[in-house]
Amino acid sequence: MKNPLFRIFTLALITCMIPLSKAYSQDDESIAAAPLLDEEVLPNYHYEYIPDFTYDDIDRRVRAMDHEMAFELNDRIFSFIQYFTVRNRDYTKMVLARKELFFPMFDEMMRKHDMPLEIKYLSIIESGLDPQIRSRVGAMGLWQFMPATGRMYGMNTNNEVDDRMDPELSTEAAAKYLKSLYRMFGDWEVAMAAYNCGPGNVRKAIRRSGGKKTFWGIYNYLPRETRSYVPQVQAMLYILNHLEEHNFYPEDPTYVVEYEKIRFDRALSLDKLAELTNLCVADLKTLNPAIKNSRIPESNKNMALRIPRTKAPYIKENLAWLNDSLNNAPTVLLASNVKVQSVEALAQDIRQNGTVYKVRSGDVLGSIAQRHGVTVTQLKSWNNLSSNLIRVGQTLRINSGMSGNIATTQTNASGQTTYIVQPGDSLWIISRKHEGLTVDQIKRLNNLNSNNIKPGQKLIIG
């Protein structure tokens, strides 16, 4: 009897010693739930929907595609479609982000050379659309040219500039090379294979196959890498034409910056040019990927530099002082509608004949006159205006030296010489008017942080 009673007593004692959590009544239900509502519970996993597809689905879509180049689905191509849409989706997304930078130019170049537009997909497999990528064997650029082949097509290389990284030059060269391979073999798929492994290896594969002339006919006799090369190009051709079916959407596409070309006669630094013109150095480097170390050397002085189109007019209007500040000789513009003129001739022309001004949004005659140190009456007279109405884009002539109430150079009692800025003046032009005076001296004497000056401004020059 004692043992059962002892066990019951002991169990009751232990039960009483167990700590209990705070109790809540039904009325307190909202209070009990409150701590959980303070924090939003989110799933901690990442999921991307990848649509299912079959061989028949892909085959049906391929047959419905409009393409110039031969393209028939097989197991090898299908396996690469699976790879780029399932296993390596990141590569495809990277291509989508870059393609708008180059595809419009590729299309234009292919049309120029009367080639199938599908050839552009070859660059995706060659470089992933990276103009500065280098292979383990030294091939460079969007189309992965070796140095010797690049030189055959006018692309030279030195320590500062590599033309193989120039998108336009390399695409032009690739189009010419592929066109010559097509003339050699009469088949675009075989031409692409030859682009990868060389025409010698393709001829050898044709001989070993018993004289077959198609890519799939010589497939087993080609180098291993080349066997995968053409199917990958065709896989990308299919995928980029069926993005939605595989849940691909461009997330952060990059678009090309519109540009104009300006050629300089001497070496220059992109950093210095950006400083003087308030350009973005990153934009200059993106537009000019062939420049390795942010400068054009003397050996490449005739190189055309791509400038964002929004800044090109400013550079042209301020050509004189800009060249002087860059410590370069005369600049030559490559625009077809721009007359080639030396800096000295341009400066003399501005001094003698004045300058021109293109009306911008928000301009009125009064503000333009004040900005150039002239009167509204003079502006109307020089431009045969019968009223104060002007329109955006209109060109106004502003004559130099017509405001007679301004004495250009004065010397005060203490011997300090000052100069009144005239319409069409720049720091470079002012320095040329006064022997021994440089742009840097003018800026230092007047505590100028930039080269911007305006008519009527008084400058210390000595």
User: Taking CA 61 as the corner, what is the angle to CA 58 and CA 64, rounded to the nearest 5 degrees?
Assistant: 150
Task: Strands of 216-345 (E only): list them.
Answer: 259-264, 268-269, 295-296, 304-308, 331-333
What positions carry a catalytic annotation? 126
Whether residue 164 contacts residue 153, with contact meaning beta carbons closer than 8 Å, is answered with: no
- Bridge partners, residue 357, by sequence: 396
Q: Identify the burial level of 285 via C-beta atoms within 10 angstroms of its C-beta, where 0-12 means exposed, 13-18 middle and 19 or more buried.
A: middle
| Positive or negative torsion for Cα 98, 101, 107, 109 | negative
Task: For residues 440 and 437, give the distance between their C-alpha atoms in angstroms, rounded to a whole number.
Answer: 9
Residue 340 phi/psi, 5° resolution?
Answer: -70, 125
| Positive or negative torsion for Cα 103, 104, 109, 115 | positive
Task: For residues 24 and 374, give the distance between their C-alpha atoms in angstroms, rounded to a whole number.
Answer: 86
CA distances from 140 to 155, 239, 240, 340, 360 (A): 11, 25, 24, 34, 43
Report the candidate in 448, 422, 427, 429 with the shortest Cα–Cα distance to residue 439. 427
User: Taking CA 385 as the corner, what is the angle to CA 379 and CA 386, rounded to the nearest 5 degrees?
Assistant: 125
Task: For residues 177 and 195, give the distance between their C-alpha atoms in angstroms, rounded to a whole number.
Answer: 8
Whether residue 122 contacts residue 192, with contact meaning beta carbons closer than 8 Å, is answered with: yes
Task: For residues 153 and 170, give the distance between their C-alpha atoms in angstroms, rounded to a whole number.
Answer: 9
User: Taking CA 77 as the corner, what is the angle to CA 76 and CA 80, rounded to the nearest 5 degrees?
Assistant: 95
The SS3 call for residue 419 is: strand
Q: Which amino acid is at 234?
A: Q
| Positive or negative torsion for Cα 311, 316, 318, 319 | positive
